[in-house]
Structure formats: C-alpha cells, structure tokens
Amino acid sequence: MSMRSKSPWILHYNTGGCNGCDIEILAALGPKYDIERFGMLNRGNPKQSDILLVTGPVTLKCKNVLRRLYLEMPEPKVVVAMGACTHGGGVFRHLYHVENGVNGIVPVDVWIPGCTPRIEAIIDGLIEGVEIWKGKTKEKEYLVGHGDDLLKKIGAIDD
C-alpha cells in the first residue's frame, strides 16, 4: 500500500483558463522543482493516470470533456483543482460561457488556492492528494449530480 503512493501519474487538463497555471506546472516538471522525484509523471492519458489536475473555469464546451476524462480514469483516483478559476470562476466568474468552477462537475479532493499558485503550493497540494489517494480503494466513484441521460450523452453508460 505504501509502495503505491510512490508512483502517482498525473493527467493535466486545462478547462479554458489563461494558461498561467499550465506554465507553472511545466516549471514544476523542470530542473528546479522536479516533481519526478516523487515518481510523478505527466502522462496526458486518462486511462493510465491517477491524479486529475484541473485548471481553469469550466467553459460550457469543456464540461462534458472533463466529465468524460474523469470517468475514463480507473479507480483509485484523486482530483486536484488548481488555481482561483477552478474554485469559483476566478476572474471569469458569472461570465456567460463558464460554469463557475469544477465543484458541480467532478468531486474534488484537494483545492490549491492562488492565482497562479506558487510551485511550492502545487507540490504541497499534489502530496496532499497522494495522501488521500493512499486511503482510496477500487470502489467505483461517480460524478457530482449525474443522471443516466447525462452518462448516455457522453457515451459512458456501459463501462
């Protein structure tokens, strides 16, 4: 069980933010902050990832893609929401095209505050996410407030 926590693979998805958070994530992969020390890799593939790292306010176009990515990740999995936009929309709050954060779409385990968060905060949040991930099991997890018609619409009804 403890060996498992040494290899969290990250799926990073930007749901329409300003790319500031994404640049910070790239910096975290670089020589100075190197998150591969913890065995973390940025896989970019939902089927092989353990941590979903979401940035950006969820735009209406992105909403179902985010749901679908979440459902494609095999359990145990953890969602880490990063940046002010994911918390409630940030500077995009109450605009006509956003969903005001990820809270109503996928169940979030760790929130990383800041706009943009410092890289130390990102690493801290990811480690916190790994701690939560250690306690999770293969039990299936679901979206927030989903219905069967929604699952059918995004093609995830018969997984």
Helix or strand or coil: residue 82? strand
Give residues 85-104 in contact with another protein (rule: CB under 8 A). Answer: none
Structure tokens at 108: 């979030």
Q: Which of 19, 26, 45, 157 binds another protein (CB under 8 A)?
A: 45
19 binds another protein (CB under 8 A): no
20 binds another protein (CB under 8 A): no
50 binds another protein (CB under 8 A): yes
Spatial CA neighbour of 146 closest among 109, 105, 108: 105
CB of 27 to another protein, least distance (A): 12
Cα(37)–Cα(44) distance, integer angstroms: 19
Name 148's Cβ contacts closer than 8 Å, sequence gap at least 6.
157
120 binds another protein (CB under 8 A): no
CB of 97 to another protein, least distance (A): 27
Cα(35)–Cα(56) distance, integer angstroms: 21
Cα(48)–Cα(113) distance, integer angstroms: 27
- Closest to another protein by CB, 98 vs 106, is 106
* Whole-number Cα distances in Å, 117 to 15, 68, 70, 109, 122: 16, 26, 23, 17, 7
Give residues 23-42 in contact with another protein (rule: CB under 8 A). Answer: 30-31, 34, 36-39
- Closest to another protein by CB, 96 vs 159, is 159
Q: Which of 23, 26, 27, 44 binds another protein (CB under 8 A)?
A: 44
In the complex, which residues of this chain contact another protein (CB under 8 A)?
Answer: 3-4, 6-8, 30-31, 34, 36-39, 43-45, 47-48, 50, 74-76, 138, 140, 159
